[in-house]
Structures are given as structure tokens and as C-alpha cells.
């Protein structure tokens, strides 16, 4: 099988690390991004310099028409999509539930969860035996993120439920669906919440006493997509340093 993967939000952070590692493992990679073309193209350049195959594609994955165009572009450029990483995600300024308005709540759910639903739908239409999906959730799905972002945590809890349900629907077709739940990982996302130094602040509370790297998450994603994980579906790997 020619392995062709879409990584949503592949331009930065965990997504970028995952694109690079997948390319090293023989996948042809579509680096999806929403607005940061420069970063996405840097990921593509790095992959090509190492002899890999990749291209970048702009699509807001919460928009169904964009996702249709994304999958068509990948089919034309690289061939049928065999693997998918639903990684794109956002969080907003740290706030308590009373400070979160309905517009923000809906926006976070649409961007983080509806996007996953839309991309899974597009993917499983053409996937068959040996294909796999990994959904990038969060440890927040279990903690609930009180006083920070209950909206974000809710979106990840829903993503976990989608992962379990879909894994059972498509198991007989030989398609696997799993999730990863990172904890505190050094990426740009914490600045979006208003606290760029959040990982360092929380490090003393993490059993392993440090934040994680995007590469550490990428290794788990790549393993879950691989044939080495052929008997794993509807499962989650927590990457939260012991939390
Ligand atoms: P990040 O560095 O902020 O990168 C976010 C990525 O998502 C960027 O590539 C961005 O594209 C893309 N994106 C955002 N909205 C999008 C949309 N509507 N359509 C397409 N792409 C979109 O984030 P990260 O920390 O690597 O997070 C990646 C995933 O891991 C997220 O799902 C996040 O919830 C999860 N996670 C992260 C942590 C952590 O501590 N970092 C912990 C748990 C879970 P542009 O570059 O174009 O903006």
C-alpha cells in the first residue's frame, strides 16, 4: 500500500513534528494549515530535503467545502488517502465558565470536534483494510480544565467519544481509529490561552517534572498509525508525563 497521510494543522507544533516523522517512515504527506503558509511550506521543504514527498494545502477543516477540496487535492497529488491525523485545534484565553460566551463555546467545538467529524467522514469513504486514523485529543478531556478552558476540554471529551464510536463502526472494514491525549507540550498553543510560559509553570506538578515535546507525541501517533499497532483500535495513549 502507498501510504498517503493528511495531517490537519501540520504547519506548527505537534502537527509539524508528526508530518516530519511520518515522512521519515515512508508516508507521502499533506501538510494542512489554516493561515500560516510560511510555516507549512517550511515543513514541506524539510521533508523534501530529506528525500520525502510532501505538499502543503490551505483548508479550514471546520468547513466542509474546504475539507472536500483538501481530500480531492490529496487524491490528485499523492493518491488515495490511507491515513489521517486529526490534529488541528485551538484554545482561547483562559477563563472560567461564566466568562465564556456561547459564540466562543460553539467556535471551539466546531474547530476542534466538528472538524474531526467532517475529516473522518471524508476519509472513511475511501479507506479500506489497513487504513488508520489518529485523533489528537488532550488530557483536558479527563481534567475538564476548570478556570482555564472548559470549552476546549469539552471539545476533546467529545472527540474521545467520536473515536470510540467510529472505531467500532469501521472495525469490520479493517480501518483502525485511535486517539492520543497529550498533557503539557511545548508549542505555541499556550500563548493563545494568554500564558506562553504555562508548561514551565505546571512542570513541578507533572510526575516526570517537565513538559513534553511535540516529537514525543508524534512518536505515539506514528506508532498508532503503523501496522505495528494492527490490533489496537478505539484506544488512547496518554502523553502527560504521568498525569
Ligand atoms: P499549535 O502549535 O497552536 O498549532 C495549531 C495548528 O492547528 C496549526 O498548524 C494551525 O494552522 C492549525 N489549525 C488551527 N485551526 C485550524 C483550522 N480551522 N483548520 C486547519 N488548521 C487549523 O497547536 P499544538 O499545541 O501543536 O496542538 C495540536 C493539537 O494538539 C491540538 O488539537 C491541541 O488541542 C492538541 N493538544 C496540545 C497540547 C499542548 O500542550 N500543546 C496538549 C494537549 C492537546 P496555522 O499554522 O495555519 O494557524
What are the pLDDT digits (tens) for 150-175?
999 999 999 999 999 999 999 999 99
Protein residue with its CA nearest to atom 39 in ligand 1? 185
Residues 176-183 have a mean pLDDT of: 99
Residues 61-75 have a mean pLDDT of: 98
Amino acid 29: pLDDT: 98
What are the pLDDT digits (tens) for 24-53?
999 999 999 999 999 999 999 999 999 999
* 114 and 159 Cβ atoms separated by less than 8 Å: no
Residues 70-82 have a mean pLDDT of: 97
Crossing angle of helices 13-24 and 37-49, in 10° steps, is 20
151 contact partners, CB below 8 Å, separation of at least 6 = 92, 100, 104, 105, 108, 109
Q: Which domains are delineated in the chain?
A: 4-239 (3.40.50.720)
Cα atoms found within 13 Å of the Cα of residue 190, Cβ hemisphere only: 15
Amino acid 207: pLDDT: 98
pTM for this model (two decimals): 0.98
Residues with CB under 6 Å of ligand 1 are: 8-9, 11-15, 32-36, 39, 60-62, 87-90, 111, 136, 138, 182, 184-185, 187-189
What are the pLDDT digits (tens) for 201-227?
999 999 999 999 999 999 999 999 999
What angle is formed at CA 168 by the lines to CA 162 and CA 170, rounded to 5 degrees? 95
What are the pLDDT digits (tens) for 77-134?
999 999 999 999 999 999 999 999 999 999 999 999 999 999 999 999 989 999 999 9
Amino acid 1: pLDDT: 85
* 33: annotated active-site residue: no
Question: DSSP 3-state assignment of 180?
Answer: strand
Residue among 66, 61, 52, 64 at smallest CA distance from 7: 61
Give the separation between CA 132 and CA 189, rounded to whole angstroms. 26
Amino acid at each position: 500500500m502507498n501510504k498517503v497521510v493528511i495531517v490537519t494543522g501540520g504547519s506548527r507544533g505537534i502537527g509539524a513534528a508528526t508530518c516530519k516523522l511520518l515522512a521519515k517512515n515512508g508516508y507521502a504527506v499533506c501538510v494542512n494549515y489554516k493561515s500560516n503558509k510560511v510555516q507549512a511550506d517550511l515543513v514541506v521543504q524539510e521533508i523534501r530535503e530529506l528525500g520525502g514527498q510532501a505538499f502543503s494545502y490551505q483548508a479550514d477543516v471546520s468547513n466542509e467545502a474546504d475539507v472536500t477540496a483538501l481530500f480531492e487535492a490529496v487524491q490528485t497529488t499523492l493518491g488515495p488517502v490511507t491515513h489521517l491525523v486529526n490534529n488541528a485545534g485551538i484554545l482561547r484565553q483562559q477563563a472560567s465558565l461564566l466568562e465564556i460566551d456561547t459564540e466562543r463555546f460553539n467556535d471551539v467545538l466546531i474547530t476542534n470536534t466538528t472538524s474531526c467529524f467532517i475529516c473522518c467522514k471524508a476519509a472513511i469513504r475511501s479507506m479500506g483494510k489497513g487504513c488508520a486514523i489518529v485523533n489528537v485529543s488532550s488530557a483536558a478531556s479527563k481534567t475538564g480544565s476548570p478556570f482555564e478552558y472548559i470549552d476546549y476540554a469539552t471539545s476533546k471529551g467529545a472527540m474521545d467519544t467520536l473515536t470510540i464510536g467510529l472505531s467500532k463502526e469501521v472495525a469490520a472494514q479493517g480501518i483502525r481509529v485511535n486517539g492520543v491525549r497529550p498533557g503539557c507540550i511545548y508549542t505555541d498553543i499556550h500563548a493563545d490561552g494568554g500564558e506562553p510560559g504555562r508548561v514551565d509553570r505546571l512542570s513541578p506538578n507533572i510526575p516526570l517534572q517537565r513538559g513534553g515535546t511535540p516529537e514525543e507525541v508524534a512518536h505515539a501517533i506514528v506508532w498508532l498509525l503503523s501496522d505495528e499497532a494492527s490490533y489496537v483500535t478505539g484506544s488512547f495513549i496518554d502523553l502527560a508525563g504521568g498525569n
